[in-house]
Structure 1
Amino acid sequence: MYLRRDLITPRVYQEVIFARCKEKNCLVVLPTGLGKTFIAMLIADYRLSKYGGKILMLAPTKPLALQHRESFARLFDIPEEKINTLTGELSPEKRAEVWKKSIIITATPQTIENDLVVGRISLEDVVLLVFDEAHRAVGSYAYVYIAKEYARQAKHPLILGLTASPGSNEEKIREIIRNLHIEHVEIRTESSPDVKPYVQGVKLEWIKVELPELYKEVRKLLREMLKDSLKPLKEAGIIDSYSPDLPKKDVLNAGRIINAEVARGNYALGRLMLYQAKAMKLHHAIELLETQGLSALRSYLGKLYNEGKRGKTKSAKELIQDPRMRKAISLLMQANELGLDHPKMDKLFELIKKQVEKKPNSKIIVFTNYRETSKKLASEINKLGIKAVRFVGQASREKDKGMSQKKQKEVLELFSQGVFNVLVATSVGEEGLDVPEVDLVVFYEPVPSAIRSIQRRGRTGRHRPGRVVVLMARGTRDEAYYWSSRRKEKAMFVTLKKVSEMVKREKQASLLGFMGTKAKEEAKHEKEPPKEEALPVKPIFVKKPKGIVVYVDSRELKSQVPKYLKELGAEIQVKTLDVGDYVVSEDVAVERKSANDFIQSLIDGRLFEQMGRLKDAYLRPIVIVEGQLYGIRNVHPNAIRGALAAVALDWGVPILFSNDAKETAQFIYLIARREQEERKKEVSLRGEKKALTLAERQRLIVEGLPNVSATLAKRLLKHFGSVERVFTATEEELMEVEGIGEKKAREIRKVITVPYVDEENEES
């Protein structure tokens, strides 16, 4: 026994789930905060005691993987150096070393997937594989591939999936169960008899506010504009209605339909893209007005105004020039002067003040969908004399810098210690991080997702009574989203039970089928006379042929292609390739381009430069274009056809087309087999890359500047004569070069002149 039961006692429902899941693949659906991880520990203890080997627990983020590692280290009587976390921050060599010496490993799935693809680790000795946040095991997420490889490699396999909510879609739940090879589903809610004694109860309430007249007037103007943008789409038969209440997904789908038609040569429909783009922008503007407030809407309309003024998009330009939009902007300016914002804001401040007055050391989480709103709310709450802090994701948005995982952890620790009363969180606080239990959770706006709604509520009511308040603006999307999430949540448990029963029936049917077959075989053998025991045949040992080897660029590990290549039997060698994405022989390299990447490289001028380098380095290079090439990015089909013709004729590089990553892998494997087995070609990198000339090196340096393509780099060097003069040129001098405007010149000078600051040191 490895688990220190003197430190923690299992609850009744945890013991029951453990007993049912210790020998068969299980999906455990249990509300946030009710000890899913401890169930995994009970099973891990049992499996290690029975088989030895390793335990692998996967979590979507590094902080959560580290948190699980800390839990195992605290509760398991195993040397701490044998309990480790694997993430992409460790070098591949170090990860292989850590894997060998560890008994318990927590890890991010992408790291394990990459190590499996290149054969760096084996799952043979893993006796329990835990998938935390198991609802992610759909599509091409890393969980799917890892589960497949585990079922194939492990000597004593057992899978445990953990989630608070797998969603309400039956097909998605079936996909999760199929992908994780689930044989049994354990479902608990706060009202389950064996869970109820441990839940303090969550008081759920919603507060409705009335939009002020000025809001309604702006809303009316925007809805009229939306209706006018939708009308041509309805007349063309692309959408069923031009009501401004038409769901956003229908407007998105309209764009896909128009793109597909243009790709087929129906260019007349191309004019409708303008109306579809306007409709999408207006849809978003109305949603911001109804659910967020004037600050968020003003910020968005400001971006549209700048887009339109610079002529960046025709849709933005037309919207800003519409007299109704000008009137709406004028009304927003009036509201700003009057100090008006969304009435939900005042209601939120009232709730927070009452909670802190009642209990000064209260912990409160406010969830909002938008960063702009989180910034405004945190600022205003601090003005009330109540300490608040934002909690956002890692990605940076324009001037709004994201939070590193280190910073996120630091903020959560300070919140847990009571340094801040209020955490204003975007969706990053819903899943995957250990957010401390709180007294009050406020949804600044409802979310139409059952998963997200359950995750948010799970932050309170674990050890003491909690309160959840949902703020809604009457007669807006807020109400629609709230009831949508409630409906989906109810549907989720009905669907889960239905699917769970289906899994049981399938298992029983397969077991009865097996027993029937076994009985028939036994009866058959009883009737047959005993045969003489055959003499053993001397085995013929055939020399195993050398496998098909494919060199893969390290950046390609993010795609699905290397996984499929490995499944086809290829031996993967990961390198950082200077030219091409896959090398299959000394003569043949393959450049894989997704449809989007092909279009982008055509737009920014990289395409033909890449073809030149590919042709210089390899005798017979190939380009594979993956996905639907036409009908994306509003690029005219003739421009795409012209680029394809130039690649094939001017550069002499053949182009193959594939539907998806699986077909791309099949192409590459077949080409590799032809080269290596039929033509007996060696697999080698052609000196990694042909040595660059001085001029090429100079162009490469200048291309490193922001928004400078290969063509623009040539222009700059021709104009200034040397790299040094390019780097010392003023903004005015840079603007003399064709293709460089005021903004681009400013960005180039900024990169060259601003002092370097180490980001890690800055964060610490």
Structure 2
Amino acid sequence: MYLRRDLIQPRVYQEVIYAKCKDKNSLIVLPTGLGKTLIAMMIADYRLSKYGGKVLMLAPTKPLALQHRESFVRLFNLPPEKINVLTGELPPEQRAKIWERSIIITATPQTTENDLLVGRISLEDVVLLVFDEAHRAVGNYAYVYIAKEYMQQAKHPLILGLTASPGNDEEKIRQVLKNLYIEHVEVRTESSPDVRPYVQGIRFEWIKVELPGIYKEVRKLLREMLKDTLKPLAEAGLVDSYSPDIPKKDVLKAGQIINAEVAKGNYEIGKLMLHQAKAMKLHHAIELLETQGLTALRAYLKRLYEERQTKSNKELMSDPRMKKAVSLLIQARDLGLDHPKMDKLKELIKEQLEKKPNSKIIVFTNYRDTAKKIVKELVDMGIKVSRFVGQASRENDRGMSQKKQKEILDLFSQGIFNVLVATSVGEEGLDVPEVDLVVFYEPVPSAIRSIQRRGRTGRHKPGRVVILMAKGTRDEAYYWSSRHKEKQMIAVLKKVSEMIKKEKQASLLGFVKPKKEEEKEEITAEEEKEQRKAEVSKEEVYGKLPVRPIFVKKPKGIVIYVDSRELKSQVPKYLKELGAHIEVKTLDVGDYIVSEDVAVERKSANDFIQSIIDGRLFDQVKRLTEAYARPVIIIEGQLYGIRNVHPNAIRGALAAVTIDWGVPILFSTDAKETAQFIYLIAKREQEERKKEVAVRSEKKALTLADRQRLIVEGLPYVSATLAKRLLRHFGSVERVFTAKENELMEVEGIGEKIAREIRRVITAPYLEEE
């Protein structure tokens, strides 16, 4: 037993979930604050006691991984040096050593994925793999690859997924379950009978505010402009109506259709792109006005005004209605007007702090600008407050490092300040202390985010959640959308969970024959022989079982050098699956080196177009041709219709690369096809042509051996590999050049024809070409 039972008191529902999930791949869906991590620790204790080995717990961010490590150190009877965190901040060699000596590892998925790709770590001895925030296990997220590798490598695999909210999309939930090889789902909500006794009541209040007259005037002007710019799109059949209440995703989709049509040569429809761009900007402006306030809208319109080089911005800002709207905004600023939600928020916080001076309050908002404004207003009131935002930096707004985030959460826990104003970074996973009041500055149209936000209160004592809404605006629509999606999520989860059980039972019944039936049957030796012929192969049988064992193939010995920056793409993963041995390096030229002659530059369609715009393309091609004899470019994805670049400009660039530079271009639909191309090229070079893999730089100081090889490579039919063989055999360039035909033929790869041609070139008199 590793878990210190004297320090914990598992609740009934935690014990029940533990018992059901300790021996099968499971997804646990449990609201924030109800102890998912403790269940994971109980299962970790059981697995380590039964099998030994290691436990790996993955979390999306470094602070969350550190937090899990602290929990394991506190509750597990293991030396602290056996419980470690692995993140990208540690050098690769150090990570490998830490992995070897650890029993429990908490890590970020991207770091683990990279270490797996290059073979730095093995999951063979991992007896439990925990995926925190498991709803992320879709698409190209690292969780998907790690789960697959784990099921291939582990001797005693067990996967545990943890999430408070996997969303309401049935297809997405199915993908999560499939990607994590889930056999069993445990779902609990605050109202589940075994959870309810432990959940203190959360009191919900939604406070509606009335928009002032100036707001309504500005809103009316912007809606009129949106209606007018949507009309041509509706007449062309690109959107269903020109109502200003049309969803933003419909306008976005119209842009994709226009781009695709232009790519096909339908340039007439391209004129509608201007209307689509204006519609998107007006849609965003109205949303800012309704949900955030005049300050946020003024800042946005200021940016549009400063970027008038784009035609859509120029037309919008020169519209008389926009000029009138801007005039009203200036008037509102002079009057000191802002969104009525701001006054209501200040009132709520003041009231809470008067009632309980040491209260902890979190205010959630979607926008950084709004968070900054709220902090300023509360500071002016003399309230101790701090902003909590993500790592990315924006114009005039520095992001917050993970170290700084942790520091702020610690100060908030200690009560150094009362109010935390957080963007979406405060919603997921981080151990935000329990609070007395949670305020949604605006509702969110997402079940996941809504559940995460309100999970910050009501854990051990009654909590209060207040949702601010502006009447008759998107605020109300977003609120009801999130409520509907949340109910839908529970229904979908239960449905999918039942289907998994039925599928599992059906698949097992198909292969397990009742004992009584077996006893009744008596078959002859001949019948048994025929029956065996008809039986499906072992792999086919396992393919139908709930969790399919992976049959590991022996690597084929294909070596591919991969640029370290390419680890962000999916291509290295697919190459590894195909059997290639990956060597990760920082390459000066090319993304994938498959032989001494061939380097592959992979470009996403978007990057290829951007390299045309910024002029990088031909410089990159030049460097490729200088370093490698036969470079190849692979363009991945749909090339036309994704950017506002004329198709003829793209075709011209393709023609120049192919004809002027002589570099072949291959097209792939996705990362998987790109990997297949690279692998097949490497296979031809290394297995059929016996070429070595050599990393070259565009400008390198040649050694004496390099220069000797280059001289010999100048002979007819002599490759770099053959040049090495000749020099090894004869010992010097001079001996190669003086060797007779029969001596040359002693070298592997040189027959009579090549030997004769080499001697002809060396001995023939030089004649000046006229």
Relative to the length of structure 2, the TM-score reads 0.87
**Does the alignment pair 1:492 with 2:489?**
yes
Q: Distance in 2 between matches of 1:453 and 1:546?
A: 49
SS in 2 for 1:217: helix
**Does the alignment pair 1:690 with 2:687?**
no
Match of 1:609 among 619, 622, 628: 619
Q: Distance in 1 between matches of 2:242 and 2:116?
A: 50
Q: Distance in 1 between matches of 2:481 and 2:411?
A: 35
Q: Distance in 2 between matches of 1:459 and 1:527?
A: 69
In the other structure, the counterpart of 1:314 is 311
Q: Distance in 2 between matches of 1:167 and 1:401?
A: 31
In the other structure, the counterpart of 1:178 is 178
In structure 2, give the amino acid aligned to 1:7: L
- Once the two structures are superposed, residues 553-599 of structure 1 have per-residue CA deviations (whole angstroms, 9 ceiling, x without a partner) of 00000000000000011110101000000000000000000011101
Q: Distance in 2 between matches of 1:525 and 1:413?
A: 73
1:144-223, aligned counterparts within 5 Å? Answer: 144-223=144-223
In the other structure, the counterpart of 1:303 is 303
In structure 2, give the amino acid aligned to 1:654: P
Q: Distance in 1 between matches of 2:211 and 2:633?
A: 56
Unaligned runs of at least 5 residues, structure 2: 530-553, 703-770
Return the offset for 1:119.
1.2
Match of 2:464 among 464, 467, 487: 467
In structure 2, give the amino acid aligned to 1:463: H
Q: Distance in 1 between matches of 2:679 and 2:492?
A: 41
Return the offset for 1:520.
7.1
Q: Distance in 2 between matches of 1:349 and 1:385?
A: 11
Identity %: 80
Q: Distance in 2 between matches of 1:531 and 1:108?
A: 53
Return the offset for 1:689.
3.6
Contact kept, 8 Å, 2:595 with 2:682, in 1: the verdict is yes
Q: Distance in 2 between matches of 1:689 and 1:470?
A: 60
In structure 2, give the amino acid aligned to 1:225: M
Aligned residue pair count: 679
In the other structure, the counterpart of 1:91 is 91
**Does the alignment pair 1:596 with 2:606?**
yes
Q: Distance in 2 between matches of 1:175 and 1:291?
A: 33
1:322-721, aligned counterparts within 5 Å? Answer: 322-516=319-513, 527-528=524-525, 547-686=557-696, 688-691=697-700
SS in 2 for 1:341: coil
SS in 2 for 1:515: coil
Change over 3 Å in CA distance of 1:324–1:519 after alignment to 2: farther
Q: What RMSD in Å do the two structures reach over aligned CA positions?
A: 1.7
In the other structure, the counterpart of 2:127 is 127
Q: Distance in 2 between matches of 1:330 and 1:91?
A: 56
- Once the two structures are superposed, residues 603-648 of structure 1 have per-residue CA deviations (whole angstroms, 9 ceiling, x without a partner) of 1111000000000000000000000111122000000000111111
**Does the alignment pair 1:13 with 2:13?**
yes
Return the offset for 1:519.
7.7
Contact kept, 8 Å, 2:556 with 2:580, in 1: the verdict is no
Contact kept, 8 Å, 2:555 with 2:581, in 1: the verdict is no
SS in 1 for 2:406: helix
In structure 2, give the amino acid aligned to 1:515: V
Q: Distance in 1 between matches of 2:176 and 2:514?
A: 30
SS in 1 for 2:288: helix
In structure 1, give the amino acid aligned to 2:229: S
Change over 3 Å in CA distance of 1:523–1:559 after alignment to 2: farther
Contact kept, 8 Å, 2:59 with 2:132, in 1: the verdict is yes
- Once the two structures are superposed, residues 87-112 of structure 1 have per-residue CA deviations (whole angstroms, 9 ceiling, x without a partner) of 11111111111111111000001111
Contact kept, 8 Å, 2:555 with 2:579, in 1: the verdict is no
Q: Distance in 2 between matches of 1:644 and 1:478?
A: 48
Contact kept, 8 Å, 2:589 with 2:698, in 1: the verdict is yes
Q: Distance in 2 between matches of 1:147 and 1:546?
A: 23
Change over 3 Å in CA distance of 1:546–1:291 after alignment to 2: closer
Q: Distance in 1 between matches of 2:455 and 2:147?
A: 28
In structure 2, give the amino acid aligned to 1:497: K
Q: Distance in 1 between matches of 2:156 and 2:524?
A: 36
Return the offset for 1:195.
0.9
Moved >3 Å (runs of 4+)? 517-532
Q: Distance in 2 between matches of 1:519 and 1:223?
A: 74
Q: Distance in 1 between matches of 2:307 and 2:320?
A: 17
SS in 1 for 2:203: strand
- Once the two structures are superposed, residues 339-371 of structure 1 have per-residue CA deviations (whole angstroms, 9 ceiling, x without a partner) of 000001100000000000000000000000000
In structure 2, give the amino acid aligned to 1:691: K
SS in 2 for 1:390: strand
Contact kept, 8 Å, 2:555 with 2:580, in 1: the verdict is no
Q: Distance in 2 between matches of 1:235 and 1:315?
A: 20
Contact kept, 8 Å, 2:31 with 2:190, in 1: the verdict is yes
**Does the alignment pair 1:284 with 2:281?**
no
Q: Distance in 1 between matches of 2:475 and 2:4?
A: 47
SS in 2 for 1:14: helix
Q: Distance in 2 between matches of 1:244 and 1:584?
A: 54
Return the offset for 1:433.
1.4
In structure 1, give the amino acid aligned to 2:584: V
Return the offset for 1:528.
3.6
In structure 2, give the amino acid aligned to 1:9: Q
Q: Distance in 2 between matches of 1:55 and 1:545?
A: 27
**Does the alignment pair 1:39 with 2:39?**
yes
In the other structure, the counterpart of 1:102 is 102
Larger mean CA deviation between 73-82 and 552-561 belongs to: 73-82
Return the offset for 1:691.
2.9
SS in 2 for 1:157: coil
Return the offset for 1:122.
1.0
- Once the two structures are superposed, residues 21-49 of structure 1 have per-residue CA deviations (whole angstroms, 9 ceiling, x without a partner) of 00011100000001100000000000000
Return the offset for 1:529.
8.8
Point out the structure with max Rg over C-alpha: 2
Contact kept, 8 Å, 2:174 with 2:496, in 1: the verdict is yes
- Once the two structures are superposed, residues 512-545 of structure 1 have per-residue CA deviations (whole angstroms, 9 ceiling, x without a partner) of 112128887777676549999xxxxxxxxxxx88
Q: Distance in 1 between matches of 2:430 and 2:663?
A: 48
- Once the two structures are superposed, residues 404-424 of structure 1 have per-residue CA deviations (whole angstroms, 9 ceiling, x without a partner) of 001111111111111111100
SS in 1 for 2:358: coil
Q: Distance in 2 between matches of 1:256 and 1:91?
A: 42
Contact kept, 8 Å, 2:202 with 2:464, in 1: the verdict is yes
Q: Distance in 2 between matches of 1:237 and 1:520?
A: 64
In structure 1, give the amino acid aligned to 2:47: R
Return the offset for 1:477.
0.2
Unaligned runs of at least 5 residues, structure 1: 533-543, 694-764
- Once the two structures are superposed, residues 312-355 of structure 1 have per-residue CA deviations (whole angstroms, 9 ceiling, x without a partner) of x1100110000000000000000001100000110000000000
In structure 1, give the amino acid aligned to 2:660: D
Q: Distance in 1 between matches of 2:581 and 2:30?
A: 41
Return the offset for 1:690.
2.5
Q: Distance in 2 between matches of 1:251 and 1:580?
A: 39
